[in-house]
Amino acid sequence: MLIAVVVTTYNRPDALAAVLDGYLAQTDPEFELIAADDGSGPETRAVLGAFAPRARFPVRHVWQEDAGFRAAAIRNKALALTAAEYVIFTDGDCIPAPDFVAQHRRLVEPGWFLSANRVLLSEAFTRRLLAQRLPVHRWGLARWLAAWLRRDVNRWLPLVRLPDGAWRKRGAARWEGAKTCNLSAWRADLARVNGLDERYAGWGLEDSDLVIRLLHAGVRHKSARFAAPVLHLWHRENDRSRLAENRRRLEDLLRSDRVRADAGLDQYAARV
């Protein structure tokens, strides 16, 4: 099964380089990586150009003009670009553990999408990590416990690995908490709901909209928590001026049974 890892990025080449180091270390190299670039400058292209020859997997770059926060659109363009059967969505400031792809692959199941969680890094620790290129993707639990005691991270518990069981499906109808910084689904299911809804302009809730429509389509939510966490680098808060409008749009969706995005993947994909 070919997996595509879609990494959304925007004008943060140092963070992207740290994230790409995490993908070089993956125990499962059977995937392609698509950098979904929401209008970055040439520095990001240079980082990807230097990275691609080092990778054991295909690296692709899809770019759109910088016209504000348009994560839904660039993810749809990346989704249209791949023929992979399964897609992992994440961000260019989220560093994966070495078994990140392997764990998503292991938990894959027809009729289900996966979501997992993250550990937030402090501003000071993020700056130090990026300046020194610390290989945090290889750190063990003891080092993360020490980092938590220093308040370099907000929590350490998501880094614990728990055995599988029926508990992973207890939130089968839950949409809250699922975010595209660590979300995966079958491409066929994503196509069935027409990808992400590009009417969500500006930061906020386009990922919740996707998850709710997947649930409306009968795709259930399986937890990949305590299996496939990411390390989320600190960043300044995004502009939230459109959040109220996006929230109204999401509330309308929750009152409906709508499945397909009105402005979605079918604008780009011949394979939908």
Written as six digits, the tokens of 149 are: 């005691």
Give the chain's end-to-end CA distance (angstroms, integer).
19
pLDDT above 80 (res 234): yes
Residue 272 has a pLDDT of 42
Residue 270 has a pLDDT of 53
CA count, 13 A, side-chain hemisphere, 107: 31
Q: 96 is in which domain, residue-wise?
A: 3-267
Residue 239 has a pLDDT of 60
pLDDT above 50 (res 84): yes
Residue 238 has a pLDDT of 63
Residue 183, classed as helix, strand or coil, is strand
Domain count within the chain: 1
Residue 68 has a pLDDT of 87
Query: 81 lies in a domain?
Result: yes
Tell me how far the alpha carbon of residue 117 is from its chain's centroid: 10
Query: 272 lies in a domain?
Result: no
Written as six digits, the tokens of 127 are: 């700056």
pLDDT above 90 (res 243): no
pLDDT above 80 (res 146): yes
In percent, the amount of the chain with pLDDT more than 70 equals 96
Q: Where are the beta strands (DSSP E) in 172-240?
A: 182-186, 220-223, 230-232
Measured between alpha carbons, how far is 116 from 159 in angstroms, rounded to an integer?
A: 11
Read off the DSSP letter of residue 199: T
Give me the CATH number covering residue 214.
3.90.550.10
